[in-house]
Chains A and B, each alone.
Chain A
């Protein structure tokens, strides 16, 4: 058969494609469980980290998650609840527009004492090195235990340069990121809308 005849081209292309696709299917099948476990761990650890519940190893995270958290609601209304020292804590996914794209965070708060437990940034497309710093520890750490004021919390821009954050959990005020005022404002809006969302949930104490 000639190498440039239509029949040869069609058959050759078909069999080569089938061969490589079959190999990829095998590779996908072999790693499927691992990829799924990674995905599950990422989702569960985000909730645990936001609530400030510690876990020693990856395998612990799954047990602790199953024991301590109850999941209610479906889709975007899904929320996670747990009791820590007799107080009711809720966590939910909140998203809103950032400077370049949607910012998605896991927000957790103590419903009884009206304090934030913490946040975890799940996805963001902010400028690396500027707005992208919302994913850094010093920024996220400020939210832990922060008292929620009558107006929610405020994130002030330009106040910090050293990257240390606001240390006082009683002032309902956090340091924004220098050079990323718009991202800081966006985070403030997202967190406050998240607080409102959590308070509206069944059992969310005003």
Chain B
């Protein structure tokens, strides 16, 4: 794998993670992360749609008139999201019923259009596909982490299986949207301070050499 692709992957997964650093797709973080199973299905849908929509838009980019660029982006994104919706309805009817309108709302997830506009509009199809995939997986990692905490503390279960002891008192706040706010903020805080500390560590090592 060339260095270019590994940079794209590292950016999507960590250093430019859509939730932590781009702060995109926060709405869906609040809506679906109180159950691990639904979160996983939803984030897989987002990853699939982002990767293929970016690839497809990159293929089309030289032919799209500037005036209708965004309309075309929404069209292609909706196409892939509706495909996800059709697959869920046909093969996972229970999950489709539970997720309800949230699958359709992937269309409005800012990550999809954000990557289409920021990356796919100026890069080659394969790189765009990898970028979409990496961003989707970066989004998945954060959401799944939050869902584990919320489902565990809110229901005492994981993937619907009871893991907490019998005398465990569920924290109802964890099931409500506000808890996702707190958790996203905590994770973003942790990630940002990690970056700052890393920069601070580099400083003293460089300072003496600059002084010399």
Contact = CB atoms under 8 A, between A and B. Distances in A.
Interface in B100-124: none
Contacts of A13: 68, 71-72
Nearest to B71: A13
Given A4-B65, A129-B175, A35 B75 contact: no
Contacts of A130: 172, 175
A128 B83 CA distance: 28
Contacts of B86: 24, 27-28, 31, 35
A17 B79 CA distance: 10
A128 B30 CA distance: 13
Contact of A38 (B64, B76, B93, B175): B93
Contacts of A31: 86-87, 89-90
Given A31-B89, A129-B34, A9 B65 contact: yes
Contacts, number: 64
Query: Which of B64, B79, B91, B176 has the most A CB atoms < 10 Å from its CB?
Result: B79
Contacts of B75: 16-17, 20
A203 B144 CA distance: 53
A113 interface: no
A90 B201 CA distance: 74
**Size bracket, chain A contacts:** 20 to 34
A4 B63 CA distance: 10
Given A27-B86, A129-B34, A12 B172 contact: no
Given A129-B34, A129-B175, A179-B172, A12 B90 contact: no
B138 to A, nearest CB: 26
Contacts of A8: 65
16 contacts: A4-B66, A12-B63, A16-B75, A20-B79, A23-B79, A27-B83, A28-B86, A31-B86, A35-B93, A38-B90, A42-B93, A127-B175, A127-B176, A128-B175, A130-B175, A179-B172
Given A38-B93, A127-B175, 6 more contacts: A3-B63, A4-B65, A8-B65, A12-B68, A31-B87, A130-B172
